[in-house]
Amino acid sequence: RGALLWMKDVSQELDPDLYKQMEKFRKVQTQVRLAKKNFDKLKMDVCQKVDLLGASRCNLLSHMLATYQTTLLHFWEKTSHTMAAIHESFKGYQPYEFKTLKVRKPEWTLGSLLNRQILICYK
């Protein structure tokens, strides 16, 4: 961008009749072309590197995901076999019958005990 601004400034000062100014403009124009060519090459290199890194990341994720899925599948198979064995061991088991008792409200609360003590003291 700076090179293009430099070329613009030189072209505004250009007088086609003067050979020296034309030569200066041609030098600037050549340098700007080379800078643009170099910039385009670097831009292409960066784009290719970004594409390569993206593909590499996708490949790594795909590989790790396959390993993770396989490991998870083995884990659930082992868990399934263990749960099936536990289920088999509980066949024929007679469950207990539990009855819950009601919790009765205590007859003597703290307030009634204090009142009773006071009453006892005054008797």
**43-53 per-position pLDDT tens digit:** 999 999 999 99
- Three-class HEC string of 56-92: HHHHHHHHHHHHHHHHHHHHHHHHHHHHHHHHHHCCC
pLDDT band at 115 (very low <50, low <70, confident <90, very high): low
pLDDT band at 104 (very low <50, low <70, confident <90, very high): low
Q: Give the pLDDT of residue 6.
A: 72
**Alpha carbons 28 and 22: distance in angstroms, whole number:** 10
Give the 3-state secondary structure of residue 96. Answer: coil
Q: Give the pLDDT of residue 57.
A: 93
Q: Give the pLDDT of residue 31.
A: 86
Is residue 16 within 8 Å of 10, Cβ to Cβ?
A: no
Evaluate if residue 16 carries a pLDDT over 50: yes
Evaluate if residue 123 carries a pLDDT over 50: no
Highest mean pLDDT among 3-7, 8-12, 18-22, 33-37: 33-37
